[in-house]
Amino acid sequence: MSTENEGTAVPADHPAAPSTPTTPPTPPAPPTAPPASAPTPAAADAPTAAQPPTAAQPPAPEAAPAPAPDAAHAAHTPAHAHTPAHAPAPESAASTPAPAAAGGGWPPPPPTVPAWGAPLPPAAPEAPRRRTGGLVAAVLVAALVAGGIGGGIGYWAAQRGDDGVSSTTVSSGEAPASFKREPGTVAAVAATALPSVVTIQAKSGGSQGEGEGGTGTGFVYDQEGHIVTNNHVVASAADGGTLSVTFPDGKSYDAEVVGRAEGYDVAVLKLTNAPKGLKPLPLGDSDKVAVGDSTIAIGAPFGLSNTVTTGIISAKNRPVASGDGSGGSNSYMSALQTDASINPGNSGGPLLDASGAVIGINSAIQSTGSGFGQSQAGSIGLGFAIPVNQAKNVAQQLIRTGKPVYPVIGATVNMQEQGEGATIASQGSGGTPSVTPDGPAAKAGLKAGDVITGFGGHQIDSGPSLISEIWTHKPGDQVKITYERDGKTSTATVTLGERTGDS
């Protein structure tokens, strides 16, 4: 706000005022401090210290630049008034106001100001310091108050159709009544898939029924209430523990394990009282996935249910061991690699393509300072999912029999060496032959010491990568093998055998 022309302004359409104010012939009076002019409406809403400065007290530099002498005089003189620069008025004009015109008409009495060139009245010693401080405070407060007042006045004027006020803001009421996401967008895919993704709470059977457990994810497999997830999500509750499944709408159901495959890291649950109207997620074809395809991962990372992240397929056929790769109870997969953010708690959740079809089950992450598998470390953009074609075969087998079936070649390979292929060990566990007599490998002519470098057209660089590739097939499949013996490369065809259950 401006501090100029704080007195009564002269209407533009009124006849011109006299060129100089009338000076009545009255005797001189002792100089007095000029009264403060009346506050404007804006100043009335500010503290008293915000009163505009009079001619006797010029504005502080913070409020406005110091005007030239003629301009300062004009600021306190009615419009159209003019006083010669070298014609000072009598000293009595500084203290005695001019009488109003007859009948109280125009012009009104001019503001009380000292005569041009006359000395200013003396002021109290401390008054200027207090006045200056008050003016600075008034400017700051006025700036803050103006924001609120201005907004209120703008709204008031707009409500009344004031032509001088317009608004450039758009309220939410002016947005479209219904906003639909186009099919194929992440928001559309997530909205369709989320109702079929569940959060799983697993608790082991402790001595008091409150054992340890964890949180994972799963998805609706069929309308009968089967839920597909990872084995490691439910393993702690598989023997005497409890499982609960919570849908995005907040409804929870008890569940039980139908079957689990430790080697594949796949498990199937069933809701004990499955609700009607379950919508299974559509299953895609992981063999047709290409590097660069868009991916959407849904899960409960660190317990945060219904979390959606996006990325791409970074690579295919990544040999991944869910443990340290030393054998025993480890899980192996020829995984889909994705940079979609995956963290502990995402395990068992679906990895979707751009159409919303399941192409994998999120199972493992690579994290700094640890090997493959689950870790409390965060995602670094290296996530791995079990291809859905493999997971589907395992799930169907578990639903039918409750037990997994694994394809095998009937040979024990070294699980420690990498980079040279998968070497058939000199002997099996417990001193048994490394190549099972009359087994698939033996029938194909393989022997201890042979190094398998290719399987089904995929390069093999270690024992875990061989197992990962074998488990992408079914028992009875015929697969071409490339191997080295005594420095020579040979090929053979192996008809895969089978092993039932985890051992």
Contact predicate 480/470, CB 8 Å: no
Known catalytic residue at 265: yes
Q: What angle do CA 207, 210, 215 make, to 5 degrees?
A: 135
* Annotated catalytic residue 232: yes
What are the beta bridge partners of residue 269? 227, 257
Catalytic one among 226, 265, 462, 468?
A: 265
Question: Are the C-beta atoms of 441 and 409 separated by less than 8 Å?
Answer: yes
Tokens 């075969």 sit at which residue? 393
Q: Which residue, 233, 443, 201, 419, is CA-closest to 322?
A: 233
Residue in the structure block whose two tokens are 């015109």: 101
SS3 state at 124: coil
User: Contacts for 74-79 with beta carbons within 8 Å, 24 or more apart?
Assistant: 75/4, 75/5, 76/7, 76/111, 76/113, 77/110, 77/111, 77/113, 78/7, 78/10, 78/17, 78/107, 78/108, 78/110, 79/9, 79/10, 79/17
Query: Which pair of tokens denotes residue 403?
Result: 């037990």
> Residues 331, 347, 363, 465: which is the catalytic one?
347
Quote the CA–CA distance of 455 and 494 in Å, as a whole number: 10
Distance CA 309, CA 311 (A): 7
Tell me which residue has tokens 């079957």: 259
* Catalytic entry in 76, 95, 232, 363: 232
Which among 474, 472, 480 is positioned nearest to 456, based on CA atoms?
480
- Let me know if 473 is a catalytic residue: no
The Cα–Cα gap between 138 and 50 comes to 4
List the beta bridge partners of residue 334: 319
Specify the residue for token string 């079914």.
474
Q: Which of 295, 371, 309, 389 is nearest to 337 (CA)?
A: 295
Given a contact cutoff of 8 angstroms between Cβ atoms, the answer to whether 333 and 264 are in contact is yes
Cβ neighbours for 501, distance < 8 A, ≥ 6 positions apart: 403, 404
Residue pair 436/499 in contact by the 8 Å Cβ criterion: no
Please tell me the number of Cα atoms within 13 Å of 318 on its side-chain side: 22
Helix (H, G, I), strand (E, B) or coil at 268: strand
**Which residues are the active-site residues?**
232, 265, 347
